Amino acid sequence: MAERTERAWGAGAVGVVDDARWGTLAAEVFVGIKEWRQQHPTATFAEIERALDERWAVARARLLEDLALASAAAALPARPAVSRPTCPTCGGQLERRGTARRRVRVTHGQAVALERAYAVCTACGSGLFPPR
């Protein structure tokens, strides 16, 4: 079973971080770059840097996804009404209407998948995938 460490993220938010998953991601980068280097013994500094950046970008995206999903901001219903995001259109109260999943592009061309509460403004009806 993976070791999980609870850490505070932001104001009163507690996220659960899977230490074993993060260790595995880092190990994959180390093993991958070592294998690449053995296959490219005459690579230039710039080529080595590019190969390393490509591998870290994948791990970085997974870590970013884990951190975002462990955030209290990911759970709209768990937040007190006064601390929930408000409608960017009219400032009205948002009401949960299920969950939605979206993929967001991040640095180095990677994508992360975020599944969060989908909310609708009770005043104007605008939909929002919080937080923005």
pLDDT at 85: 73
Q: Are 89 and 123 a contacting pair, CB within 8 Å?
A: no
Same domain, 66 and 84: no
DSSP-based three-state secondary structure for 85: coil
Same domain, 65 and 13: yes
Same domain, 70 and 84: no
Q: How many CA atoms lie within 13 A of 20 on its CB side?
A: 4
Same domain, 47 and 66: yes
Same domain, 63 and 121: no
Q: Domain count of the chain? A: 2
pTM (two decimals)? 0.58
pLDDT at 56: 93
Q: 81 φ, ψ to 5°?
A: -55, -35
pLDDT at 7: 35
Same domain, 70 and 87: no
Same domain, 65 and 85: no
Give, for all 132 residues of the chain, the pLDDT tens digit.
343 433 333 333 345 567 888 899 899 999 999 999 999 999 999 999 999 999 999 999 888 888 877 765 555 555 666 667 788 889 888 888 887 787 888 888 888 888 777 888 889 988 877 554
Same domain, 64 and 116: no
Same domain, 22 and 65: yes
For 93, which DSSP code? P
> What would you measure as the largest C-alpha separation in the chain, in angstroms?
64
**Are β-strands 111-121 and 127-128 bridged in parallel, bridged antiparallel, or unpaired?**
antiparallel
Same domain, 4 and 53: yes
d(CA 98, CA 116): 9
Q: Quick one: how far is CA 48 from the chain centroid? A: 27
Domain finish residue from 38, 57, 74:
74
- Range(s) of the domain holding residue 86: 80-132
Domain finish residue from 74, 98, 113:
74
